[in-house]
Chains A and B, each alone.
Chain A
Amino acid sequence: MTETSTPLMRQYAAIKKEHPNALLFFRLGDFYEMFFEDAVVAARELQITLTSRNKEKGISVPMCGVPYHAAEGYIAKLIRKGFKVAVCEQVEDPRLAKKLVRREVTRVVTPGTAADSSLSSEENNFLGAVAQVGDRVGFAALDLSTGEFRATEFRGSDAGRRIEEELAQLRPKELLYASSAPLFEGSAGAAENSSAPGRKDGRSAHPSTGYAETALDDWVFAPDHAIPLVENHFGVMSLEGFGLAGKPAAASAAGAILHYARSTQRGTLDHVDRIGFYERQNCLVLDAVTVRNLELIEPLFAGADAGITLFRSMDATVTPMGKRLLRAWMLRPSIERAEIEARLDAVEAQVKNTVAREDLRRALEGILDLERLLSRVTLETANPRDILALAASLGRIPAVRIAVARLDAARHGALRV
């Protein structure tokens, strides 16, 4: 694009510079025209004729165009193929213009922000975003065509894998991420492969997952920017009402999506009026408010007798480890039928066999806190008494084994260690 001497082409070049990764639909009269590489790509993808414009000092500029009334269909086609399209309109009446009609990009259509009628109705068209805040990774997804908006967040070492699971489940058409944080190792490599030629022709679709990756500046994902943006959009004082309290990564991902959606669309996104925090669970979820309200482990009113908690009421364990496990089960009951039935079978077996049960509980009585003692040993803070305590506790195991052997139920079998 070295010869851009006519005012028109200079105007084109300036606008194109602002949208290097999108195919620029440049409005000329009744047509949208594309030039240079955009024209080559469009002609190929849309199966339309590639012509040229010979007005440049003998250098022919590749050009192709579509009539403006048919443009939506062509745009939709390109979007489905993973391209982004910047639509540049004439923003003043040509008859009134002095020399060159003023032009501006009024919207950018991306795979993730498509909301037109060509979308298939069975599936959502999600725009996704991934944000990282500290050790948390947040993921949010918005379907601009329906207004469905949701966000979740993970922590810990398998956060990356769980994000990938979300991506596989929701299958967004486009994914936003902070440019300084390449998505995941695998896709960063793939993006690099496709990016060199990809950036040139405006396409950046991830080959294996089929979503377009869009990098945005880091600050778009910063909580200080993203969270107020979301709060303002929904007109709320805080995001607690959406379940996003204490979930900065999820909220930041949501903010990035709103930022991007706003900057590429005309219109106000009013139909996006709610967002919900969701989590894929592996247990019956009891949040802190519920744990407190139901007085599971602590009384509701400070100073009340601890005996009114469910834990105290249900605690008939005899070892410290048992108490800890009971508490853990109570705060995170299972949601898997097989697991629950297995436990119930074991309890039932013990209910039916009182003698064996009592023997078992007696055998368990002298056992101290093996877990804590053991960690003192491995951390090298154990003293001789600890070790003897450990020995004593381990010594009671044979008795326990005998008692367990007299009980049926698969769970007991598995516990015969």
Chain B
Amino acid sequence: MEETIVSEPPISLSDGGVIQSGVNAELDELRDLSRNSKQYLAQIEQRERHGTGIGSLKVKFNSIFGYYLEVSKPNLHLVPADYERKQTLVNAERFTTPELKEYEAKILDAQEKIVEIERRMFAELRTAIAAEAKRIRQTALALAEVDVLAGLAHIAALRNYCRAVLDESGDLEIVEGRHPVIEQLEVAGGSERFVPNDLYLNSSTHAILVLTGPNMGGKSTYLRQAALIVILAQMGSFVPARAARLGLVDRVFTRIGASDNLARGRSTFMVEMTETAAILHTATARSLILLDEVGRGTATYDGLAIAWAAVEYLHARTRAKTLFATHYFELTELADLLSGVKNYHVSVKETGGGIVFLRKVEPGAADRSYGIEVAKLAGLPNEVIERAREVLAEHENAERRLTGHLASDESRPAPPAQLTIFTPISQPVLEKLREVDLNRLTPLEALNLLAELKKQI
């Protein structure tokens, strides 16, 4: 190829100048002719000037009229008889002669031939290349693969990744796993080092992990890094972890609340339910499912109930490995009821000034919701924060009293005062009712009490 084509060829073939010299004899000849034509024309010009005495006579060419002799107006009387007029201009006239005509024909002819030969040769070259197409394509594929593998190796070496061990077990075990993208962004941004986390999923005791804890605490990151590590491993790359052992996954499902398709005219909840349905109907025991805040798009009781039932279904029927990040604290009770469900939480440290996200995932349920602390970090006015804390304390106390009563009945220790949505808000009313001794009330008193309570609701 390099021998055939000049080193700086034009883009288009139509004007020639593509094929190198020394390649085709006929071509070279014609080119010579073309080149020499300049000389020849110069000669004609000289001769005619001499012969007619018109010093300013010129031999020129344009693409419409071809070659012509141009004579300016003042000299027209000197034009010999055998000049044929071709074109009249304002200040000059253009002529041709039989000789010129003949030469013109030859040159144009040669030009055409040159282009034609070049075209033909180029086409031949193309065909020759095309004949090797299969080999070239195979080479291209091989090069692509070598390139990818080299790139992956480069990154693995640079970022201290490890080789995952793959097997046919149903386990996903990651030691000190990191999120490949976020880790790099944090390093580049100069902030603290990425906090690595372990992950353990299997098809029996740790099939479904319920992850609680404040938003911004790292739940979403933990979920995503699990999936990304699986994908990287099955792509043939090393993974960002100290060690990893992965059973082959057949499909990764994600249901993440943020990306809903409101534009299509479906409500958030509808979209969420449709996606969740598709997951429940098509996941297999070798699938990996990430659920991030499922049940958020509707009334709290409904959402919680659906999330609860979905976990039960996944546990009993589908048996896919599932990571479920949720704000429904109630779901942590599932771990007590179903053998394959385990609780984890993102840990938080309380300091004098507020909370610090440790980004460490640890076993067990989160013990507090920290929603108010997160709101404070977001910048909600102090007044709002203080009042929220008051309201929360009120409800928590009411809950404690209620469960305290139940506990004393059954001599069970009172559970921690985590407010659940199963606690009705109208606690004072219930309290009042509980205190009242109906046997000692007159009918009038009873009616008054009823009116009073009704006012409170």
Contacts and interface: CB of A to CB of B under 8 A. Distances in A.
A351 B238 contact: yes
A242 B133 contact: no
User: 9 closest pairs, A vs B, by CB?
Assistant: A343-B236, A322-B147, A241-B277, A350-B153, A316-B151, A384-B9, A333-B234, A391-B1, A321-B144
Contact of B233 (A274, A296, A340): A340
B142 A289 contact: no
A370 interface: yes
A384 B5 contact: yes
B147 A364 contact: yes
A285 B231 contact: no
A286 B231 contact: yes
Contacts of B252: 284-286, 290, 294
A388 B1 contact: yes
Contact of A284 (B139, B142, B231, B237): B231
Interface stretch (B154-162, B380-388, B445-453): B154-162
A31 interface: no
A285 B250 CA distance: 6
Contacts of B126: 377, 380, 382, 387
A300 B258 contact: yes
Classify the interface of chain A: helix, strand, loop or mixed.
Answer: helix
A310 B180 contact: yes
Contacts of A296: 231
A278 B146 CA distance: 34
B153 A347 contact: yes
B138 A294 contact: no
B149 A347 contact: yes
A318 interface: yes
A290 B185 CA distance: 22
B140 A370 contact: yes
Given A285-B250, A347-B236, A387 B129 contact: yes
Interface of A: 238, 240-243, 245, 274-278, 281, 284-287, 289-290, 292-296, 300, 307-310, 313-319, 321-322, 324-326, 329-330, 333-335, 337, 339-344, 346-351, 354, 357, 360-361, 364, 367, 370-371, 374, 377-378, 380, 382-385, 387-388, 390-391, 394-395, 397, 400, 404, 411-412, 415, 417
A205 B254 CA distance: 44
A388 B154 contact: no
25 contacts: A276-B281, A277-B282, A284-B249, A289-B254, A289-B275, A290-B253, A293-B254, A308-B185, A314-B151, A314-B232, A318-B147, A319-B143, A319-B147, A322-B143, A325-B148, A329-B235, A340-B233, A344-B164, A344-B236, A350-B149, A357-B150, A371-B137, A374-B136, A387-B126, A388-B1
A317 B254 contact: no
Contacts of B290: 293
Nearest to B256: A293
Contacts of A395: 2
Contacts of B442: none
A96 to B, nearest CB: 50
B145 interface: yes
Interface of B: 1-2, 5-7, 9-13, 18, 122-123, 125-126, 129-130, 133, 136-157, 163-164, 166, 168, 180-181, 184-185, 224, 227-228, 230-238, 248-254, 256, 258-259, 273-275, 277-278, 281-282, 290
Contacts of A276: 281-282
Contacts, number: 255
A69 B84 CA distance: 117
Given A242-B277, A344-B164, A374-B136, 19 more contacts: A241-B278, A277-B281, A290-B227, A293-B290, A294-B252, A313-B184, A319-B144, A322-B146, A337-B248, A344-B236, A347-B236, A357-B150, A361-B150, A361-B154, A378-B133, A383-B12, A387-B129, A388-B2, A397-B139
A397 B181 CA distance: 33
Contact of B129 (A240, A275, A344, A390): A390
A275 B280 CA distance: 11
Given A274-B281, A315-B151, A383-B13, A340 B146 contact: no
A417 B142 contact: yes
Interface centre among B122, B138, B147, B290, by most A CB within 10 Å?
Answer: B147
A289 B230 CA distance: 17
A364 B5 contact: no
Given A310-B228, A371-B137, A321 B147 contact: yes
A351 B158 CA distance: 9
Contacts of A344: 163-164, 236, 238
Contacts of B251: 281, 284-286
Nearest to B153: A350
A366 B130 CA distance: 22
Contacts of A412: 146
A367 B144 CA distance: 10
Contacts of A316: 150-152, 154-155
Contacts of A385: 9, 11
B149 to A, nearest CB: 5
A278 B224 CA distance: 25
B89 to A, nearest CB: 38
Contacts of B185: 307-308
B140 to A, nearest CB: 4
A371 to B, nearest CB: 5
A322 B12 CA distance: 29
Contact of A415 (B146, B168, B236, B238): B146
Contacts of B148: 317, 322, 325-326, 329
Contacts of A337: 166, 168, 248
A354 B153 CA distance: 9
A318 B153 CA distance: 13
A290 B250 CA distance: 14
Contacts of A390: 1, 129
Contacts of B228: 294, 310
A287 B250 CA distance: 12
Contacts of A287: 253
Interface centre among A309, A350, A367, A385, by most B CB within 10 Å?
Answer: A350
A344 B166 CA distance: 10
A329 B10 CA distance: 38
Contacts of A371: 137, 140
Given A275-B281, A370-B140, A383-B11, A313 B147 contact: no
B111 to A, nearest CB: 18
A294 B288 CA distance: 13
Nearest to B273: A241
B431 to A, nearest CB: 44
B150 A364 contact: yes
B149 A411 contact: yes
B265 to A, nearest CB: 12
Contacts of A281: 250-251
Contacts of A292: 259
Contacts of B157: 351, 354, 357
B227 A294 contact: yes
A380 B12 CA distance: 13
A290 B150 contact: no
Interface centre among A284, A318, A357, by most B CB within 10 Å?
Answer: A284
A293 B259 contact: yes
